[in-house]
Amino acid sequence: MSIASFTTGAPPSERLEQSRRYCEQLTRAAAKNFYYGLKLLPEPKRSAMFAVYAYMRQVDDIADQEDGRSREQRLADLEQWRRLTQAALAGEQPAPADGARDVIWPAFIDVARRYALPATIFDAVIAGQCQDLTPITFETFEQLHDYCYRVAGVVGLASIHIRGFEGGKETEELAVAGGAAF
């Protein structure tokens, strides 16, 4: 699906379907290894995981994409993304600002609401990308673990919320450990 075919004036259900298709196509293009594994999930969990992947991919691209932006501009763009994320998590459709990245919001809002994804997951992802732009030498394992949590452990947390889990804090800790191990 091209960005041009995304219609902001379309009915909400049509925008959601367009957004889901975009997230699936982005996942397929950017991460075939994840795409084929996620294709095995039943709906609506499959679309939810595509939306989470697309969100994480967009955050990573804001920080890492080689497009001539300065470090300061990347940090400002991540801060803007954080504000858009907070608006989306509050159930608001973020105001269009960036074409391709705007397409994910209907699917993101749906998955965040449907699976009650904690906002802390997305705050941590953005903090991890900010940290990538201000590299440090890790002095302790705890510092390394905190970084791994922000860039990978949160993916494990989002995944268990979507897949459904029992076990409370223990299961969350295992999900974080698994993500950090990757």
Q: What is the torsion angle, in degrees rounded to the nearest 10, for the CA atoms of residue 3, residue 90, residue 150 and residue 17? A: -30
CATH code of 39's domain: 1.10.600.10
Return d(Cα 155, Cα 175) in angstroms, integer: 8
Q: Which comes out higher in pLDDT, residue 123 or 98? A: 123
Q: What is the pLDDT of residue 99?
A: 58
In a domain, 3, yes or no: no
In a domain, 106, yes or no: yes
In this structure, what are the phi and psi dihedrals at residue 118, rounded to the nearest 5 degrees?
A: -65, 135
Q: Which amino acid is at 33?
A: N
In a domain, 2, yes or no: no
Q: What is the pLDDT of residue 11?
A: 62
Mean pLDDT of 39-66: 94
DSSP code, position 175? H
In a domain, 4, yes or no: no
In a domain, 27, yes or no: yes
Return d(Cα 115, Cα 178) in angstroms, integer: 20
Match 């494990």 to its residue by tokens.
156
Neighbours of 136 (CB within 10 A): 8
Domain that residue 130 falls in: 10-181
Q: What is the pLDDT of residue 4?
A: 40
What 3-state DSSP class applies to 96? Answer: coil
Summarised one tens digit per residue, pLDDT across range 145-175 is 899 999 899 999 999 999 998 888 999 999 9
Percent of the chain with pLDDT over 90: 66
Mean pLDDT over each residue of the chain, to the nearest integer: 88
Give yes or no for a contact between 59 and 78, defined as CB atoms under 8 angstroms apart: yes
The answer, yes or no, to whether residue 90 has pLDDT greater than 60, is: yes
In a domain, 148, yes or no: yes
In a domain, 5, yes or no: no
Helical spans, DSSP H, in the chain: 12-30, 32-38, 45-64, 71-89, 105-114, 119-133, 141-148, 154-163, 168-181
Instruction: With cut-offs at 50, 70 and 90, classify the pLDDT of residue 53.
Output: very high
Q: What is the pLDDT of residue 13?
A: 87
Q: What is the pLDDT of residue 182?
A: 77
Neighbours of 96 (CB within 10 A): 12
Q: What is the pLDDT of residue 101?
A: 67
Q: What is the pLDDT of residue 86?
A: 93
ω into residue 96 within 30 of 0, thus cis? no
In a domain, 140, yes or no: yes
Summarised one tens digit per residue, pLDDT across range 116-125 is 999 999 999 9
- HSE of 147 in the Cβ direction (CA atoms, 13 Å)? 16
Domain count, the chain: 1
Q: What is the pLDDT of residue 100?
A: 58
